[in-house]
Structure 1
Amino acid sequence: MEAAATAAAQGASAASKVNASTPTTGTGTPLMIVVTYLLYVQCALIVLLALPYHVPYRKELMQYIHNSPKLWQIRVVFVCINATLGVLLADTFLRLDRTTAQITALQSQHLSGINPGAAPAMDASSHVTSLSELFSSRFRGQRDFYVISFTLFTSTVLYQLHLLLIKLGRYRQERNELRTRLYPSKYPPQQSAAEVVKQRVAGATQAVIDAKDRAINTVAATAADAKNKVVDATSAASQSVSAATQGVSDSFHGKAAAAEGPVVDKTAPVVTPAVTVTPISVVETRKGYVVPAE
């Protein structure tokens, strides 16, 4: 009896130590990381939609989603995600139940009187590693079970909140139409949320285009000014070089003219001096020579 009591005490102590040493934090599997981030996103959307304050563009966004032609595709994807989460929840529950049964079976081997006719109680220290792994597995299973359950709950709340906001938007639109029909002078017709969103998107797009055009025109004007400055500087340099060359040429020609004397104008008409011709008598000789007469 004393040995059985000692073994039971050792088993309880080992189980309590292993349970106390189970880590409370962990990275988890990649699939559970995705589910955790999905839970964060859904909680943020619920807070954003249910916040009792004026949130800019919240009504326009919901109306745009409601009037979007891809609304049914979004809902189908949402339902598929929730179905996947339901399958994961069932698998996690079965795994958690199986782990709990293994822990119970392992602990029952160290307690007397649980299984009549069984072998004497064993030392719990030989199964500390198995208990540690099982307790860790059960802890992870419980954590996954709670995360998936709360994710499904937030998905349901988000879907119902989305439907409620769409109904409120439809009722508000019908009220505005009736009020406009009854009191057209006091309540002029208003544009729908989709048209407002389209106009704002078009205005933002046009603003971006205008800013782009201004930037392009500024760059082009700056480049043209720089080009004009370069052309002006080149022209000024060319004129300076031409003036310097002309000065050197004039100086050289001046020195050459001074060395050669006065310059004769070759284009002026040449004046030939008058020559007086004196007639002489010619005597013909026998041999044909012409001899001037004295």
Structure 2
Amino acid sequence: MFGGILGDQDSATPLMQVITYLLIAEAAGIIFLSLPFQIKFRRTLAELLVTSPMLSTLRIVFLTICGFLSFLLVDNVLRLQRVHARKPIDLFTAENLYSQRNRLQRDLFVLAFTLFCAIVLYQIQLLLLRMGRYRKQRNALADQVRSLGAEPVRVHGLEGTKGGKVVGGKTATAPKKTL
């Protein structure tokens, strides 16, 4: 079914197939979290992943998997260096070394991109949480200003955003000084 993307059943180890599926899931997570469209439960999902005590085990498992992937990446680099150091004796050995080198390079790229996607996914999650915190602070300050009996000042050209859409508010101008 996924012969072109994931390789044949015989060419990849089951472990590399699982890592490839993890890479695909991470890439889908990155796309989902970084889409510029308004998705109502995206921020709630990111907050739930960080703040939920029940999901702390999931975070620990994810960090353990990233550590294991780092170990596999280092092991793969060392095996690739050993394959490059070997000299072929005959045509059969040369073909085996060539296919082994290609398989190791493919595994190296899959492992490296999986670790890279894990880092990017983590950073996007932190960015969404910071944006949510700043949005809450902005809304709290706007409520404080309103409770004092004034309308929050909007600077011309720096209209706020609400739900990912630009809100064109009234621009307040400073009172002119008269002499």
**TM-score band w.r.t. shorter chain:** 0.7 to 0.9
Cα deviation for residue 148 of structure 1 reads: 0.2
1:45-98 CA distances to partner (integer Å, 9 max, x unpaired)? 001111111123112222222331235433322211110000000111111111
The residue type equivalent to 1:40 in the other structure is: I
Please point out which of 8, 12, 21 is paired with 1:37.
21
Identical aligned pairs, as a percentage?
41
Please point out which of 103, 109, 130 is paired with 1:140.
103
Residue 159 (structure 1) aligned with residue 122 (structure 2)? yes
The residue type equivalent to 2:139 in the other structure is: N
- Residue of structure 2 in register with 1:174 after alignment: 137
The residue type equivalent to 1:176 in the other structure is: N
Please point out which of 49, 54, 58 is paired with 2:33.
49
Structure 2 distance, partners of 1:64, 1:25, is 35
Please point out which of 79, 82, 106 is paired with 2:88.
106
The residue type equivalent to 1:35 in the other structure is: I
* 1:2-151 mapped onto 2 (5 Å cutoff): 25-27=7-9, 28-102=12-86, 105-106=87-88, 127-151=90-114
* 1:140-289 mapped onto 2 (5 Å cutoff): 140-184=103-147
- Residue of structure 1 in register with 2:158 after alignment: none
The residue type equivalent to 1:99 in the other structure is: V
Structure 2 distance, partners of 1:91, 1:136, is 18
Cα deviation for residue 183 of structure 1 reads: 1.3
Paired residues, number = 143
The residue type equivalent to 2:133 in the other structure is: R
Structure 2 distance, partners of 1:173, 1:66, is 17
Aligned Cα RMSD in Å?
2.2
The residue type equivalent to 1:82 in the other structure is: C
Cα deviation for residue 36 of structure 1 reads: 0.1
- Residue of structure 1 in register with 2:157 after alignment: none
Residue aligned with 1:57, SS: helix
Give the unaligned 5+ runs of structure 1. Answer: 1-23, 108-126, 188-294
The residue type equivalent to 1:97 in the other structure is: Q
Please report the TM-score for the alignment, with normalisation by the length of structure 2.
0.72
Q: Is the 8 A contact 2:43 2:129 kept in 1?
A: no
Structure 2 distance, partners of 1:106, 1:51, is 49
Structure 1 distance, partners of 2:65, 2:120, is 15
Residue aligned with 2:102, SS: helix
